[in-house]
Amino acid sequence: MKIVACNSNLPLAQAVAEQLDIPLCNVSVRRFADLEIFVEIYENVRGEDVFVVQSTSYPTNDNLMELLITLDALRRGSARRITAVIPYFGYARQDRKSGPRTPISAKLVANLLVEAGANRVLTLDLHAGQIQGFFDIPVDNLYAAPLFTRDIKERYSPKDLMIVSPDVGGVVRARQLAKRLDVDLAIIDKRRERAGVSEVMNVIGDVKGRHCLLVDDIIDSGGSLCNAAVALSEHGALSVGAYVTHGVMTGQAVEKVEASPIKMLTITNSILAPQKVASSQHIRQITIATLLAKAMRAVSDESSVSSLFD
């Protein structure tokens, strides 16, 4: 078993390697003068079970190309099996035709990964579960819910606690977490006029006098989450917090969170946090290194991955 780390999230890859007590493979991922990507693997990988850790986060296209070229290098180096470990799967929000003459980019990325040499994909909280069907290879979609459940139990009392989905599309995710915690569920009904802009329309559920936790898979510009927090406060919530798997955090997202009623936003380290996120007093990270390490070990040992969902 070998672990190859590309450049998108080296601290996470190093933490996973430490959990598995396996050193990272000696690899060079660098740029030529015209910014072409070049990958060179300095260890023998013939017949090895290789895991490539790379989030396809910002800069998305650069990180995706790094991953594809690394997969190709390993395939041509005769690795026995190559697993693409993608903690954050970029382009996942383009999972269907949103209008005439628009692409399904998530399917295109799936094709690229397979063509480059991936034999298996290991990822976390896919934006849309049907993306697994875009692949003709095994896909293990891990969930952050067990991590969030433990963290919430340590930090919050179940009394007056309520889980809230910031939109109708996230109800299944929020309901699963509410069931784990044995607490009530509320839903924000919103209308999205265009990408990146949302308007809260209504709160479904009685949140008055409750400590509300918003749950989502991605926070990008922060508009939806912060608008939802304002609506909850206006409807009488005692406090508002948030648990989000992937902290994309583009533009003024940090400033929006800090100016919103959200007391604390908890994200995972699936994406390497920029300095602005890491230094914010209103944002904290929990690590997924142990979860990824256990899943990678299970894949390598041909044992159950689904047991990690409990």
Report whether pLDDT(57) > 70: yes
**CATH architecture assigned to 2-143+290-309:** 3-Layer(aba) Sandwich (3.40)
Say whether 129 counts as a known binding-site residue.
Answer: no
In this structure, which amino acid lies at residue 37?
A: I
Say whether 75 counts as a known binding-site residue.
Answer: no
Where along the chain do its domains lie?
2-143+290-309, 145-287
**Given pLDDT bands bounded at 50, 70 and 90, which one contains residue 192?**
low
Say whether 308 counts as a known binding-site residue.
Answer: no
**CATH number, span 145-287:** 3.40.50.2020
Q: What pLDDT shows up at residue 198?
A: 57
Identify whether the C-beta of residue 92 lies closer than 8 Å to the C-beta of residue 100: no
Q: What pLDDT shows up at residue 230?
A: 93
Q: What pLDDT shows up at residue 309?
A: 76
**pLDDT digit string, tens, across residues 129-161:** 899 999 999 999 999 999 999 999 999 998 899
Catalytic residue among 97, 153, 190, 256: 190
Give the global pTM.
0.93
**Given pLDDT bands bounded at 50, 70 and 90, which one contains residue 246?**
very high
Say whether 258 counts as a known binding-site residue.
Answer: no
Tell me which of 77-91, 180-194, 208-222 is least confident.
180-194
| Equal fold, 2-143+290-309 vs 145-287 | yes
**Given pLDDT bands bounded at 50, 70 and 90, which one contains residue 91?**
very high
State percent of the chain over pLDDT 90: 88
- Does the annotation mark 263 as catalytic? no
Tell me which of 95-99, 106-110, 216-220 is least confident.
95-99
Say whether 173 counts as a known binding-site residue.
Answer: no
**Given pLDDT bands bounded at 50, 70 and 90, which one contains residue 168?**
confident
Q: How far apart are CA 49 and CA 81, in angstroms?
A: 5
Say whether 220 counts as a known binding-site residue.
Answer: yes
**Given pLDDT bands bounded at 50, 70 and 90, which one contains residue 197?**
low
**Given pLDDT bands bounded at 50, 70 and 90, which one contains residue 194?**
low
Residue 120's CB is within 10 A of a number of other CB atoms, namely 17
Q: What pLDDT shows up at residue 293?
A: 96
| Residue 202 structure tokens | 């209504």
Length of the chain: 310
**Given pLDDT bands bounded at 50, 70 and 90, which one contains residue 308?**
confident
Say whether 180 counts as a known binding-site residue.
Answer: no
Rounded to an integer, the average pLDDT of 235-260 is 96
Rounded to an integer, the average pLDDT of 203-213 is 95
Say whether 133 counts as a known binding-site residue.
Answer: no
